[in-house]
Amino acid sequence: MAAAGREVIEVLRVLCRTNDNVVGEILRHQGTFYEWNHYPKGDVYDDKSHAQYFYHAHPMGQRDDEHGHFHTFVRAAGMPAHIAPAKRKETSQWPKGDEALSHVIGISMDPRGNPLRLFAANRWVTGEAWYKADDVCELIDRFSIDHAQPSWPTNRWVSGMVALFWPQVITLLQARDTTIATWEDANPGADVLEDRRLEVTSQVDISVDQQMRAVEAALGARRITERMPAPKTTKKKPSRRP
């Protein structure tokens, strides 16, 4: 986490020197920015890790403080062999085969290109095959974009954000499944994963600076514990019986 956080901060530092940001990097040379369109065109994909992401925006007024958000995924080819889509009655709209990707987490961005929050979403939002939260949690450390196109800084930043905030990602994925289960109990017989009334299933505001302070505090506490001498033990002498 600490290494990922340092990389996130370093990417932002370098981009700030030229008044750039990770969103602008992705939108560069992409023409007019249209709501709903994926940026960059064709998404960003790593053919070794099989991680994927794109950036897009919703119509103005839906999320007033947000410019847009990143969606992160891992494709089926990048998953452990034991992971498979959840067994549900209705799966006709799910992608199949290598296209059976899993959404990992969304990263909301403000108009200045800074992260606002993380969120998990319903299946119809992401167009994914649906995997149980425990399985998706195994994919967190498999998300890595290890190439330079279309933007090396943004690729490193998105990869670093997923790693830096993995505790929050796990919590959000578990909350996602709880929300889905609660919604199903309240709407018996409905295909909740396709219900347009349920979009965001869980979310949390984030701060890179606060996260790094928490990580550094935890590391500092661990170093202190490791340096503490082990308590001395004295062996009792066996008593001599007359």
Does the reported pTM lie above 0.95?
no
Tokens standing for residue 183: 């919604």
Residue 98 is given by DSSP the state G
φ and ψ at 188, to 5 degrees? -60, 135
| 99-103, 204-208, 216-220: the lowest-pLDDT one | 216-220
Task: State CA 164 to chain mean position distance.
Answer: 9
Cα end-to-end span (Å), the chain: 63
Cross-strand partners of 53? 44, 72
Residue 220, pLDDT score: 79
Q: Which residues of 166-182 are buried (b: 16+ CB within 10 A; e: fewer)?
A: bebbbbbbbbbbebbee
Measured in residues, the chain has a length of 242
- What are the phi and psi torsion angles at 34 (to 5°)? -110, 140
pLDDT at 148 over 90: yes
- HEC string of 48-66 equals CCCEEEEEECCCCCCCCCC
Evaluated on CA atoms 150, 153, 155, 157, the torsion sign reads negative
Closest CA to 215 of 206, 205, 228, 202: 206
Amino acid identity for residue 122 in this structure: N
Residue 150 preceded by cis peptide, ω within 30: yes
DSSP string, 118-181: EEEE-HHHHTPPP--HHHHHTTGGG----S-TTTHHHHHHHHHHHHHTHHHHHHHHHHHHHHHH
Using pLDDT thresholds of 50, 70 and 90, give the confidence band for residue 78: very high
Percentage of the chain lying above the pLDDT 90 cut: 85
The residue ranges of every structural domain in the chain are 2-221
Per-residue pLDDT band for 154 (boundaries 50, 70, 90) equals very high
pLDDT higher than threshold 80 for residue 20 = yes
pLDDT at 82 over 60: yes
The string of pLDDT tens digits covering residues 213-225 is: 999 999 876 665 5
> Rounded to an integer, what distance in angstroms lies between the CA atom of residue 72 and that of residue 93?
20
